[in-house]
Every structure is written in structure tokens, then in C-alpha cells.
């Protein structure tokens, strides 16, 4: 039995019941897409007389892939997404992390009292500070090193949504991200393609707030949070209950600002 201790409490880790919250990366039409990027593609490697396809007479199967991690599926980012300096995402969050899963329904820009840059439009769908406070105010910060957010509605078709002019996903308000920083969230996992508005004039306001990188710059500061990550385009089945878990982000060891990842939740049971 694997036991996890946190803040004088002991939890039984249900290591035999892992829950993947990654979208399976296919290379056909059944894949999510963001910002008009090309689809992820797979093709047979051909080199001289070698053909990497046993169905074409090759000795083995060898596949080349083309992928844009930010836009084609579940991925994790480092703060190098917005800075000139490279912090390789594959070097981050290699350990099991205490995590909390919550489910939220976005509100409209017309209703919220929060702000965003550029200014909110009435039809924008946003996750506000008030929504997060309602879910997180009573939760110990120690259980929020990683935070997983499922947005409603949550149909299985979300795994193949093509986000663009006809489908704008929810995003966070500035006050919401500031609140998550106050709660000590170091690893944010969401089921939307970005924590920022899709068409935001290139500001990436929330990314700058989350990593403490000065607005409108691409330079690290001494107090920038270089160990924090953002995971986007996850998918959490409705059968998975809100609550506390351990999470493994399973980030591909890419020397880049973003890489495909396979976050896995491990349920916790309180022992004492």
C-alpha cells in the first residue's frame, strides 16, 4: 500500500486506479485544434530503398510525425512560452504532486465584475475569481500545488473541438489568475486550449500574471516563477469526481517551451 503524508494527514494512494486526463493523440480528423494550426500528421519514413511500412514490404514500421504541441492536443508549457530565455518544459514537474480537481461553469463578460486585457466583451465566457473562490476558499493550499479545472458543459466531443472563429473557448480573468497565485498553485491543468482569450491582440495577459513576467515584455525577472507549468487541452471524463489526488504530468522530455504530456490522476483516500 502506497501512503502519502501531507500536513499531518495520511492518504492511501490508489495507485492501481490511475486516471489519464490526456486526450489521445490521433493523426486523423479526430483531434482537437486551436488557432488554425495544421493538424498533427503521421507519415511513413522513406530513406533510399528503405520503406518504414511492413504493409509496403518494409522490414519494420517507422513513422515520422509533425505536431504543434500548443494546438494539436494535451500539452504542458513552461514560462518560456512567453520569454526569450529557454526553460525546457521537459525538465519540470517530474515528481508526483498533490492536486485538486474542481468543476466550474463559466460566466459571461457581461456579468462578471472582473477585468481582462484587452477589455472584456459582453459575450466572452470567463472563469472569474468569484467562481474560483467558491470552489477553493475552504481548501488547504497544500492540496493546491496542482489544480485541475474541468469546465462545463463537458461532452466527449470536446476532445475533438476545433477552436476558431465559430467556437471561442472560455478563458480566465486577471483576478482569477491572481487568486490562483495567492493560493499557491504551481501547476495549472485546464481543459481549454489557453488560459487566455483566443484573440487577445497577442498580450497573453494571464500567462504573464501566472509566471510573474512583466506585461508586454519577454524577459525573465528575478522573481519570475520558473518552476511553474500550465497544461492545456486536457479532458476529464464526467465520471471522475471532484476532490483530491496525486498527479503525474508525464511531460515529454522536449528541450522546448511546450511538449505533449499525459497527466494522470491517482485517487487519494484519507486514512487519518
Domain of residue 130, CATH code: 3.50.30.50
Cis peptide before 153 (omega within 30 of 0): yes
Residue 156 C-alpha cell reads as 466527449
Which residue in 165, 92, 138 sits closest to 243, CA to CA? 138
Q: Is residue 132 part of a domain?
A: yes
Alpha carbons within 13 angstroms on the beta-carbon side of residue 14 total 12
Q: How many domains does the chain have?
A: 1
For residue 38, the tally of other CB atoms under 10 A from its CB is 11
Q: Is residue 60 part of a domain?
A: no
Rounded Cα distance, 195 and 205, in Å: 9
Q: Is residue 212 part of a domain?
A: yes
Q: Give the CA angle between residues 102, 108, 109 to the nearest 5°.
A: 120
Provide the Cα torsion 188, 25, 155, 115; round to 10°: 30
Kindly report the pTM of this predicted structure. 0.97
- For 59-81, letters b (16+ CB in 10 Å) and e give eeeeeeeebbbbbbbbbbbbbbb
Query: What is the three-class DSSP state of 19?
Result: strand
Q: Is residue 55 part of a domain?
A: no
Q: Is residue 120 part of a domain?
A: yes
Q: Is residue 215 part of a domain?
A: yes
Tens place of pLDDT for every residue, the chain, 272 residues? Answer: 789 998 888 999 999 999 999 999 999 989 999 999 999 999 999 999 999 999 999 999 999 999 999 999 999 999 999 999 999 999 999 999 999 999 999 999 999 999 999 999 999 999 999 999 999 999 999 999 999 999 999 999 999 999 999 999 999 999 999 999 999 999 999 999 999 999 999 999 999 999 999 999 999 999 999 999 999 999 999 999 999 999 999 999 999 999 999 999 999 999 97
Residue ranges making up the domain that contains 135: 2-23+76-270
Q: Is residue 42 part of a domain?
A: no
Report yes or no: 109 and 127 within 8 Å, Cβ to Cβ. Answer: no
pLDDT at site 1: 72
pLDDT in tens, 231-243: 999 999 999 999 9
pLDDT at site 8: 85
Q: Measured between alpha carbons, how far apart are the two ends of the chain, in Å? A: 15
Q: Is residue 46 part of a domain?
A: no
Alpha helix stretches (DSSP H) within 169-264: 174-182, 205-211
Beta carbons within 8 Å of 56's beta carbon, 6+ residues apart = 44
Amino acid at each position: 500500500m502506497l501512503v502519502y503524508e501531507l500536513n499531518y494527514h495520511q492518504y492511501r494512494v490508489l495507485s492501481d486506479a490511475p486516471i489519464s486526463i490526456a486526450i489521445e493523440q490521433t493523426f486523423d480528423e479526430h483531434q482537437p485544434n486551436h488557432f488554425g494550426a495544421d493538424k498533427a500528421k503521421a507519415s511513413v519514413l522513406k530513406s533510399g530503398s528503405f520503406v518504414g511500412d511492413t504493409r509496403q514490404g518494409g522490414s519494420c514500421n517507422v513513422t515520422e510525425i509533425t505536431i504543434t504541441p500548443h494546438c494539436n492536443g494535451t500539452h504542458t508549457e513552461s514560462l518560456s512560452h512567453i520569454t526569450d530565455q529557454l526553460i525546457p518544459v521537459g525538465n519540470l514537474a517530474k515528481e508526483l504532486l498533490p492536486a485538486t480537481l474542481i468543476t466550474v461553469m463559466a460566466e459571461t463578460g457581461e456579468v462578471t465584475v472582473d477585468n481582462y486585457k484587452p477589455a472584456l466583451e459582453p459575450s466572452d465566457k470567463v472563469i472569474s475569481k468569484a467562481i474560483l473562490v467558491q470552489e477553493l476558499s475552504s481548501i488547504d493550499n497544500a492540496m493546491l500545488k496542482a489544480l485541475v479545472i474541468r469546465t462545463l458543459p463537458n461532452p466527449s466531443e470536446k476532445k475533438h473541438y476545433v477552436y476558431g472563429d465559430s467556437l471561442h473557448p472560455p478563458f480566465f480573468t486577471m483576478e482569477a489568475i491572481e487568486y490562483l497565485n495567492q493560493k499557491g498553485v504551481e501547476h495549472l491543468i485546464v481543459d481549454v486550449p489557453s488560459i487566455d482569450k483566443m484573440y487577445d491582440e497577442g498580450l497573453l495577459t494571464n500567462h504573464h500574471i501566472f509566471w510573474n513576467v512583466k506585461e508586454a515584455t519577454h524577459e525573465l525577472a528575478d522573481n519570475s516563477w520558473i518552476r511553474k507549468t500550465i497544461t492545456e487541452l486536457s479532458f476529464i471524463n464526467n465520471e471522475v469526481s471532484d476532490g483530491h489526488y496525486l498527479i503525474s504530468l508525464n511531460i515529454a522530455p522536449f528541450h522546448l517551451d511546450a511538449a505533449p504530456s499525459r497527466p494522470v490522476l491517482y485517487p487519494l483516500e484519507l486514512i487519518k
